[in-house]
Amino acid sequence: MSRIALAAIMLVAMTGSSAFAATRPAAKLASANVENGKAVFERWCSACHAPKASLAGTLALQTKYNGEVPAALEQRTDLTPDVVAFFVRNGVAWMAPFRKTEISDIELADLGAYLAKGPAKRTDAKRKDAKRKDKAR
Amino acid sequence: MTHLPAGLTAATFADAVKAMQATVGTEWVFTSDPDVALYRDAYSLFHDEPEERVASAAVAPANVEEVQAIVRICNARGIPLYPISTGRNLGYGGSAPVYSGSVVLDLKRMNRILSVNEGDCSCLVEPGVSYFDMYKHLRSTGSKLWLDVPDPGWGSMIGNALDSGGGYTAAPYRGHFEAQCGIEAVLADGEVLRTGMGAMPGSETWQQYRMGIGPCLDGLFRQSSLGIVTKMGFWLFPQPEAHLSCTVDLFRFADIEPLIDLVNELEYGNIFNGMPSVSSPVLTRGGGMMFAEVPAEEEMDKMVRETGQPAWRFSVSFYGPEKVIRAQWDYVQERFAKAFEGAKFREGQFTGFPLDEAAMEKASKARFGIPSLDIFAVGSRSPNNPEPSHGHIWFSAIIPRSGKGLVQANRVMRQACERLKIPLFMFSPAVTCWTRSFVLFAAVPVSNDPAENKKLREAVREVIGICAEHGWGEYRCPPAFQDAVMDSYSFNNNILRRVNERIKDALDPNGIISVGRYGVWPKRLRDGGKA
């Protein structure tokens, strides 16, 4: 239900009368830098969205989805770069939109790629990376 | 659709955009509707109304020379320019201009920490440096220095100080404009001014002595429309050995007058240096953020007897070496025990520094100069707040630091908000960022429904008037109320505003910088000419 609900909310928001910035297509995942996306997350998002129940973003998403999806963004497996870009550029409730001098389009694509990758794939990627390094030794 | 500044042709505007692009690169001039929309005030009280204050474009320079060039481009063409530092002054206007059609000068890219001096405990920064940036820098360099932070850590050190922001650590650092030392500003003609000792080439004391010679000009740039601050120095707090927080509970309504007088004597006598607070457990039973109306003396004393809750609680804190702060706490207890029958004392948390990771997690962050965004949880969607609001505004009035002043302001404001149906979610009458007065803070949600916002605007304007009748003035406010608040400082036929206008006309004759900010308008827009 949660994915459908989220998609429905997005559709309403994106086609609604709000004059807030429309989302531009996020850059292709392949060209995005996931490591940099992690740095963007830590710089701009983690103060509200880290896995700590009392933080504004984590508290809000826990309340909104009631456990159907993880409350902390980095633990989600259903995020896409477009969803991330939509919320970054439009904001929601008390979260004001982020300007391009704060999170540039390239950084936004990196952030989207990082969050879209999901925790399991990120762990896999790390493991593979470690293996490659082992072999290189 | 571009919202051009009034009286400007599309051709002149296009010409200015081209010149700005040549200055900073096309990537850093924002003119498309979606890009410019990112500069809307997300908490605007005019959301989606014709009066919403919106930008025509935004430009983001990387250094002082680019700021000078942009100012000259705009000055030559009469284009209003609205500087923002990090644009995160949410609740007080955000990144939007006060005058529609202004080009927002976004200084976020100017984010260099120019120096941190461990010897004299100061720093010099650019406007894009946030509290998070400085904190990270201090920790990563192993600095012994703390910074004083406001609630949201993503704000600009400079922008927050210029709007008179405040924090939570020791007294000399809590008022952020008061803790600044040395300003560099670009004036409307593109010239660069340095205040204080910065005016003397080769001086090593720009961050040590604020005054220099002659009239002190720093105040020209506070909440002002006279220049664009591109550098500012600050005094930083050397990490103390420890912190101790304690409380004193008093049980009679009548204790409030002598309580505040004694708090004042102890603070101004340097017996404690942490941020004090005066609250009322019996009147905040509905939640610490909502101070109820102070009832009549007999009724309050009855409530105290029935609930066992103290009438007043003085929270006091100390930074310093353990043996010193424990002695200070002993002295505070001695003075209160002598002055108040039945005073109860509680020694709270003792914390040594530096904090380890585990202590950091539990720490009262702002008290220890650690930036965060924790405050936003008060408005988050939560089981108690299932439908979060669109944003919020602050009402922040300076009221007397006396028992009588606190009680009177509390009653007048509570009754006014009740009558005008202002939906407060925070009401705190005795905030002490500044040591010599109280600030009465009230927070109110804003809506995205124009009808609701219209009602709220009218109600808040009435409250501004009621406060002014009592001599209580706001020290800071969202753009929607800046004219009304400036009008309320009305001594001698509003000479404060009139002198501000004379200075504005002299320094910025074309009236381009921060048009309308805090109720000061250039000549062409005065007396009903405002757009």
ipTM for the complex? 0.94
* pLDDT band for position B406 (cuts 50, 70, 90): very high
Q: What local confidence, expressed as pLDDT, does residue B531 receive?
A: 42
Q: What local confidence, expressed as pLDDT, does residue A29 receive?
A: 52
DSSP lists the bridge partners of residue B89 as none
Q: How many residue pairs bridge chain A and chain B with CB atoms within 8 Å of each other?
A: 96
Domain closes at, from B455, B471, B488? B488
Interface test with A, best of B129, B380, B384, B392 (most A CBs within 10 A): B380
φ/ψ of residue B239, rounded to 5: -55, 125
B108-155 tens-digit pLDDT: 999 999 999 999 999 999 999 999 999 999 999 999 999 999 999 999
Q: Is position B136 within any domain?
A: yes
Q: Is position B324 within any domain?
A: yes
Q: Are residues B74 and B170 part of one domain?
A: no
Q: Are residues B267 and B218 part of one domain?
A: no
Q: Is position B70 within any domain?
A: yes
Q: Is position B497 within any domain?
A: no
Q: Are residues B124 and B160 part of one domain?
A: yes
- The span from the CA of B328 to the CA of B350, in Å, is 14
> Does the distance separating the beta carbons of A64 and B380 come in below 8 Å?
no
Higher pLDDT, B493 or B380: B493
Residue B14's CATH number: 3.30.43.10
* DSSP per-residue letters across B175-199: BTTTTEEEEEEE-TTS-EEE-GGGG
Q: Are residues B249 and B220 part of one domain?
A: no
CATH fold of A27-132 reads Cytochrome Bc1 Complex; Chain D, domain 2 (1.10.760)
pTM: 0.93
The one-letter code for the residue type at B162 is L
Q: Reply yes or no on whether the pLDDT at B318 is more than 80.
A: yes
- What's the mean pLDDT in B51-67? 97
Residue B266's CATH number: 3.40.462.10
| Under 8 Å between Cβ of B149 and B234 | no
The B-side interface with A (CB below 8 A) comprises 28, 30, 33-35, 37-40, 42-43, 48, 58, 60, 86-88, 90, 94-95, 106, 108-109, 132, 153-154, 372-374, 376-377, 379-383, 386, 388-392
Active site residues of B: 92, 475-476
Domain around B455 = 391-488
Q: Are residues B104 and B115 part of one domain?
A: no
The 3-state secondary structure of B301-352 reads HHHHHHHCCCCEEEEEEEEECHHHHHHHHHHHHHHHHHHCCCCEEEEEEEEE
- What's the mean pLDDT in B415-436? 94
Total tally of structural domains belonging to chain B: 4
- What's the mean pLDDT in B384-401? 93
Q: What is the mean pLDDT of chain B?
A: 96
- The span from the CA of A49 to the CA of A88, in Å, is 13
Residue B174's CATH number: 3.30.465.10
Q: Are residues B97 and B81 part of one domain?
A: yes
B466-500 tens-digit pLDDT: 999 999 999 999 999 999 999 999 999 999 999 99
> Does the distance separating the beta carbons of A24 and B34 come in below 8 Å?
yes
**B-contacting residues of A 64-123, CB under 8 Å?**
64, 89, 91, 93-102
Q: Reply yes or no on whether the pLDDT at A129 is more than 80.
A: no
